[in-house]
Structure 1
Amino acid sequence: MRPFWLQQALASQSGSPCPPLQGDVRCNVCIVGGGYTGLWTALMLKQAQPTLDVLLIEADICGAGASGRNGGCALSWSAKYFTLERLFGVAEAVRLVSESERSIAAIGAFCQAHGIDCDYRRDGTLYTATNAAQVGSTDAVIAALERQGISSFQRLPLPQVQRRAGSRRHLEGWFSPAAATVQPAKLVRGLRRVALQHGVRIHEGTAMTKLQHGPVVAVHTPHGTVRADRVVLGLNAAMARQFRAFERSVAIVSSDMVITEPCAELLHQTGLDSGISVLDSRIFVHYYRTTFDGRLMLGKGGNTFAYGGRLSKVFDQPSPYRALLQRTLGEFFPSLAEVPLAASWNGPSDRSVSGLPFFGRLDGQANVFYGLGYSGSGVGPCHMGGQILSSLALGLDNAWTRSPLVRGPLGLFPPEPIRYLGSLLVREAIRRKERAEDRGQRPRRLDVRLAKFAAAAGKADKG
């Protein structure tokens, strides 16, 4: 059973799956992965060189992975400024925050230019506090952005915060117009359509079974082989399973979501009548937004962890946390507590040590490139990923190929079973800490210390 967004997108769009690869083929660039990263890369390659022969393979259908089941919140890297500055220095941090905001606008412009109906709404985002312990947690990063002249945020008076967020649970809020919401599966399926129109050859139902390096790279599949001058790997969470080199580069963790049946009148009464996204300031954030058809989607990250990067069946099933999310929805919105849920789902996100994606050349090869580690916040940054990977594949010398983002993983997790057991230990500490804070109690000192292991990489699992 497909996740809610993808079911909705497939029902609203015509067209049949692209046929699986049969036999041996040759191309200039082979892209592995039919999500945002792979499709943006393919489109940018064709925009730069329309005659380039670009072929994309996808194990399932385009959008079956994270790109078709995320929360649909296109956010900038403003909240990650301190991490960017610490890793890359002030100049590059400023550039990347600015580029991340440009990507959000560029996605909307691309959709308008190419007739992609993905419910794109650039109505901004609201970063809030939902308990006293969270109050003030955003102040320092906003001050740093203001010092660099790149802050798009303004503090709103509390009545305005609660009105825009639709809930009295919020105790403070910072608003930025540089954010958007989309129906994520409609976006990825729209990118697929435009890629086909621009001559990208797509084979769905075609998994990569083996990769052979060489001057001409061989990408083996169950029923054929692609031989390409250059290869781009956009597998995201599946990279840890496919390539042992990335087993410790990312931790696979779920983000879980529920969505209501249509309730437009009730949403209007709460004040939620725009495409604004709302996030609180806990480590594994609550995030929510409305949809064009009058539903409310609410999600929370940091729930199910994968052992050794293995994507178990739970990631393709209704959320095990449905009841918890429904209860949380009712706490935020008492008037919606009795609205039936239309669906719940979850999916794997590739959480990096830094909370930032990373890019590079696989095994030091000059013609095989990769990008992953979006850490649950990829709707906007995948557009930047497409710029990075297309620039690498074209052999360009520009700000993207010179960026420290292309230096590979920015840290490693401990080996298994330490990583898995440690993840569960930290997750439970965070839960205890945040339950105490929600009750107005002081959390245990040990839980605070353990929670810092996750907090060091910043907010995640909301895109």
Structure 2
Amino acid sequence: MRPYWLDQALKNQSDTPCPPLRQNTRADVCIVGGGYTGLWTAIMLKEQNPELDVVIVEADICGAGASGRNGGCALSWSAKYFTLERLFGQAEAVRLVKASEDSIRAIGDFCRQYAVDADYRLDGTLYTATNRAQQGSTDAVVAALERNGINSFSRCPLPDLQRMAGSTRHIEGWFSPAAASVQPGKLVRGLRRVALELGVRIYEGTPMTGLEQGLPATINTPGGQVVANRVVLAINAWMARAFPEFSRSVAIVSSDMIITEPRPDLLERIGLTSGVTVLDSRIFVHYYHNTPDGRIMLGKGGNTFAYGGRILPVFDQPSPYKGLLRNTLAEFFPDFADVDIAATWNGPSDRSVTGLPFFGRMGASGNIFYGFGYSGSGVGPCHMGGQILSSLVLGVDNPWTRSPLVQGPLGHFPPEPIRYLGSLMVRNAIRRKEHAEDHNLRPRRLDVRLAKFAAAAGKSDKG
């Protein structure tokens, strides 16, 4: 059974599966991975150079990974401004916030240009507080954005906030119009269609079994080889297992989601009638938005952690946190307490130390490129990733190829078992801290200190 978004997209589109690779072939560029990053990169390469021979090899079907099962919240990097400034300096931080907002709009432009029906709605986002401890948590970053002339947020009066968000749980909030919601499965399958129309050769059911570096490089698969002048590795959470040098660059953690049966009448009653995305101010946030057919999708990150970067079987199963999510749904929306849940699912998120993706080159030949570490917030930034990787492949000199984002991972997690045990310790401290705050109690000092390890990179696990 496919995750809900991808399952719906496959039912609504008459896609013919691309056959697996069954022979040896040559290409100018071989992209490993048929999700957002790989498909955006392929499309941008073909748009800039239609004569380029681009091949994608995908282990399953395009969108089977995170791209077809995320929360559908296309958000900018505004909330990450302090992390960006600390790592890259003021000028680059300002540029990246602007570029991230441009990517949100560019996804909508792409959908209109190529007639991709991805339920794209540029209706903005709300960053909210749902208890007293969360109040004021967005003030400092909004002030910093304002000082730098890049602020798109405005404080919402309480009645407007609760009407827009559809819930009285929210007691404070900031609204930005620079965000969108999408149906992730429809978007990734739309990208696949456009890539094929532009002449990209896609081989589905074709896992990479080995990579021989050199000029050219060789990608080995069960049915044949792709010999390519340049290679792009766009396999996200799977990089940690495929390439040992990246095993400590990310931690693999789930984001879990539920979606209700359609009840447009109830959405009208509670006021959640736009495509606005809503996030609270927890470390592993609650996030939600409605769908055009009258459902509510609600999710929460930071639940299942994988030992040693393994992609666990649970990531391809219904969420084991259905009960927790169901209770949260009822707390936010009492009117939906008795509405049936249509589906639950989860998936692996490749969380980096900084909460930001990173890009770079592998090997001595300099012709193998990679990008991953989106940290549960990739719907919008994957478009930026496509710009970065296509620019690196083409060898152009532009702000993307000069960006410090292309310097590889900017930090590493401890080795196992310290990483796994530490992740569980921090996760459980966060749970205790936020449970206390929800009940207006003072959390334990140790829990607050441990939670800061996860809070350093800002909001995460919602896209």
Q: Is the 8 A contact 2:256 2:299 kept in 1?
A: yes
Q: Is the 8 A contact 2:130 2:280 kept in 1?
A: yes
CA–CA distance in structure 1, aligned partners of residues 211 and 301 of structure 2: 33
Which amino acid counterpart does residue 129 of structure 1 have in structure 2?
A
Which amino acid counterpart does residue 418 of structure 2 have in structure 1?
I
CA–CA distance in structure 1, aligned partners of residues 263 and 402 of structure 2: 48
- Residue matched to 2:301: 301
Q: Over aligned residue pairs, what C-alpha RMSD do you find?
A: 0.5
CA–CA distance in structure 2, aligned partners of residues 457 and 76 of structure 1: 14
CA–CA distance in structure 2, aligned partners of residues 192 and 447 of structure 1: 45
- Residue matched to 2:191: 191
- Residue matched to 1:103: 103
SS in 2 for 1:126: strand
Which amino acid counterpart does residue 41 of structure 1 have in structure 2?
T
CA–CA distance in structure 1, aligned partners of residues 364 and 335 of structure 2: 56
Which amino acid counterpart does residue 357 of structure 1 have in structure 2?
P
Counterparts in 2 of 1:60 and 1:382: CA distance versus 1, 3 Å? same
CA–CA distance in structure 2, aligned partners of residues 246 and 315 of structure 1: 20
- Residue matched to 1:381: 381
CA–CA distance in structure 2, aligned partners of residues 3 and 14 of structure 1: 18
1:16-415 matches, within 5 Å, as 16-415=16-415
Q: Is the 8 A contact 2:32 2:57 kept in 1?
A: yes
CA–CA distance in structure 2, aligned partners of residues 299 and 131 of structure 1: 18
CA–CA distance in structure 2, aligned partners of residues 154 and 410 of structure 1: 32
Which amino acid counterpart does residue 55 of structure 1 have in structure 2?
V
Q: Is the 8 A contact 2:41 2:389 kept in 1?
A: yes
Which amino acid counterpart does residue 327 of structure 2 have in structure 1?
R
1:363 to partner: Cα distance: 3.1
CA–CA distance in structure 1, aligned partners of residues 33 and 293 of structure 2: 30
Q: Is the 8 A contact 2:361 2:370 kept in 1?
A: yes
Instruction: Provide, for residues 89-116 of structure 1, a one-character-per-residue CA deviation record: whole Å limited to 9, x for no partner.
Output: 0000000000000000000000001000
1:364 to partner: Cα distance: 4.6
Counterparts in 2 of 1:364 and 1:374: CA distance versus 1, 3 Å? farther
1:365 to partner: Cα distance: 3.6
CA–CA distance in structure 1, aligned partners of residues 327 and 363 of structure 2: 47
Q: Is the 8 A contact 2:57 2:202 kept in 1?
A: yes
- Residue matched to 1:456: 456
Instruction: Provide, for residues 146-165 of structure 1, a one-character-per-residue CA deviation record: whole Å limited to 9, x for no partner.
Output: 00000000001011111100
CA–CA distance in structure 2, aligned partners of residues 363 and 316 of structure 1: 32
1:328 to partner: Cα distance: 0.3
CA–CA distance in structure 2, aligned partners of residues 324 and 191 of structure 1: 34
CA–CA distance in structure 1, aligned partners of residues 300 and 438 of structure 2: 16
Which aligned runs of 4 or more in structure 1 are off by greater than 2 angstroms?
none
Which amino acid counterpart does residue 80 of structure 1 have in structure 2?
K
1:435-454 matches, within 5 Å, as 435-454=435-454
Instruction: Provide, for residues 54-99 of structure 1, a one-character-per-residue CA deviation record: whole Å limited to 9, x for no partner.
Output: 0000000000000000000000000000000000000000000000
CA–CA distance in structure 2, aligned partners of residues 363 and 448 of structure 1: 42
TM-score, structure 2 as length reference: 1.00
1:377 to partner: Cα distance: 0.2
CA–CA distance in structure 1, aligned partners of residues 15 and 320 of structure 2: 33
Instruction: Provide, for residues 121-158 of structure 1, a one-character-per-residue CA deviation record: whole Å limited to 9, x for no partner.
Output: 00000000000000000000000000000000000101
Where structure 1 has 5 or more consecutive residues not aligned to the other structure, the ranges are none
Which amino acid counterpart does residue 157 of structure 1 have in structure 2?
P
1:312 to partner: Cα distance: 1.0
1:339 to partner: Cα distance: 0.3
CA–CA distance in structure 1, aligned partners of residues 15 and 275 of structure 2: 28
CA–CA distance in structure 2, aligned partners of residues 365 and 260 of structure 1: 50
CA–CA distance in structure 2, aligned partners of residues 336 and 219 of structure 1: 49
Which amino acid counterpart does residue 32 of structure 1 have in structure 2?
V
CA–CA distance in structure 2, aligned partners of residues 215 and 34 of structure 1: 23
Q: Number of aligned residue pairs: give it.
A: 463
How high is the sequence identity, in percent, across the aligned residues? 74
Instruction: Provide, for residues 160-205 of structure 1, a one-character-per-residue CA deviation record: whole Å limited to 9, x for no partner.
Output: 1111000000010000000000000000000000000000000000
1:16 to partner: Cα distance: 1.4
Instruction: Provide, for residues 415-453 of structure 1, a one-character-per-residue CA deviation record: whole Å limited to 9, x for no partner.
Output: 000000000000000000000000000000000000000
CA–CA distance in structure 1, aligned partners of residues 252 and 61 of structure 2: 21
1:324 to partner: Cα distance: 0.3
CA–CA distance in structure 2, aligned partners of residues 281 and 363 of structure 1: 41
Which amino acid counterpart does residue 325 of structure 1 have in structure 2?
L
SS in 2 for 1:302: strand
CA–CA distance in structure 2, aligned partners of residues 279 and 364 of structure 1: 43
Which amino acid counterpart does residue 154 of structure 1 have in structure 2?
S
- Residue matched to 1:425: 425
CA–CA distance in structure 2, aligned partners of residues 398 and 173 of structure 1: 37
